[in-house]
């Protein structure tokens, strides 16, 4: 009994320790929890998510992303008007406020991988290079989560996950 309780405590500590660690850091910018969902058969695009923190006292801006895993990589934003969600490419860049953070999450900002060179399979890591106006370039890896993975959405009505299987929304750009 005592042993199993100790084991549980150790497991909780281990999980907590991982959550506190910053996955990637460049100057004042930290990137955590970068992930994409595995693609369904025939799906040629996928959305990437992450958290970006700025510990600095001046704002920074994510101005570019590239990856060898896809023919086209861009920053998108899902916008919901009158209950209808559409996504559009971000113009200019995504600002990370001083002493603040930006979350790329289903229903909001996301990285759009299109023309995938190979399907995203659970357990893979998708390399990408982010460019920040102040901090410069940082290489990160998006962990591929299961196709059924449900992320906490920014808004219950805007689940981008539902869109990802059907990429017709992208035909509008």
Q: Which residues bind Cu ion (CB under 5 A)?
A: 76, 87, 112
Tell me the CA distances in angstroms from 37 to 144, 150, 166, one per residue in order: 5, 9, 14
Q: At 2, which helix (H) or strand (E)?
A: helix 2-20
The C-alpha atoms of residue 39 and residue 56 are separated, in whole angstroms, by 36
Closest CB to Cu ion: residue number: 76
Instruction: Identify which of residues 112 and 144 has a Cβ nearer to Cu ion in the complex.
Output: 112
The C-alpha atoms of residue 73 and residue 90 are separated, in whole angstroms, by 12
Tell me the CA distances in angstroms from 92 to 95, 103, 133, 156, one per residue in order: 9, 17, 11, 28
Residue 22's SS3 state is coil
Instruction: Identify which of residues 4 and 168 has a Cβ nearer to Cu ion in the complex.
Output: 168
Instruction: Identify which of residues 109 and 132 has a Cβ nearer to Cu ion in the complex.
Output: 109
CB of 173 to Cu ion, least distance (A): 9
CB of 88 to Cu ion, least distance (A): 8
CB of 12 to Cu ion, least distance (A): 36
CB of 76 to Cu ion, least distance (A): 3
CB of 44 to Cu ion, least distance (A): 13
Instruction: Identify which of residues 135 and 158 has a Cβ nearer to Cu ion in the complex.
Output: 158
Of the candidates 100, 31, 108, 27, the residue with the CA atom closest to the CA atom of residue 65:
31
Instruction: Identify which of residues 31 and 108 has a Cβ nearer to Cu ion in the complex.
Output: 108
- Whether the CA torsion 51, 32, 45, 150 is positive or negative: it is negative
Instruction: Identify which of residues 47 and 140 has a Cβ nearer to Cu ion in the complex.
Output: 47
CB of 47 to Cu ion, least distance (A): 6
**Tokens 């990437």 correspond to what residue?**
48
């Amino acid at each position: 009994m005592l042993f199993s309780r100790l084991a549980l405590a150790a497991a909780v500590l281990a999980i907590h320790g991982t959550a506190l660690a910053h996955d990637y850091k460049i100057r004042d910018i930290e990137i955590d929890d970068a992930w994409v969902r595995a693609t369904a058969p025939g799906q040629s695009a996928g959305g990437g998510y992450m958290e970006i923190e700025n510990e600095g006292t001046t704002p920074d801006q994510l101005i570019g992303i590239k990856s060898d895993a896809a023919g086209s990589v861009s920053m998108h934003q899902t916008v919901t008007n009158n209950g209808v969600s559409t996504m559009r490419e971000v113009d200019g860049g995504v600002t990370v406020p001083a002493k603040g953070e930006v979350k790329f999450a289903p229903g909001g900002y996301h990285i759009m991988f299109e023309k995938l060179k190979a399907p995203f399979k659970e357990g893979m890591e998708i390399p990408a290079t982010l460019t920040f106006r102040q901090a410069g370039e940082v290489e990160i890896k998006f962990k591929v989560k299961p196709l059924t993975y449900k992320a906490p959405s920014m808004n219950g009505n805007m689940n981008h996950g539902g869109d990802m299987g059907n990429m017709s929304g992208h035909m509008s750009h």
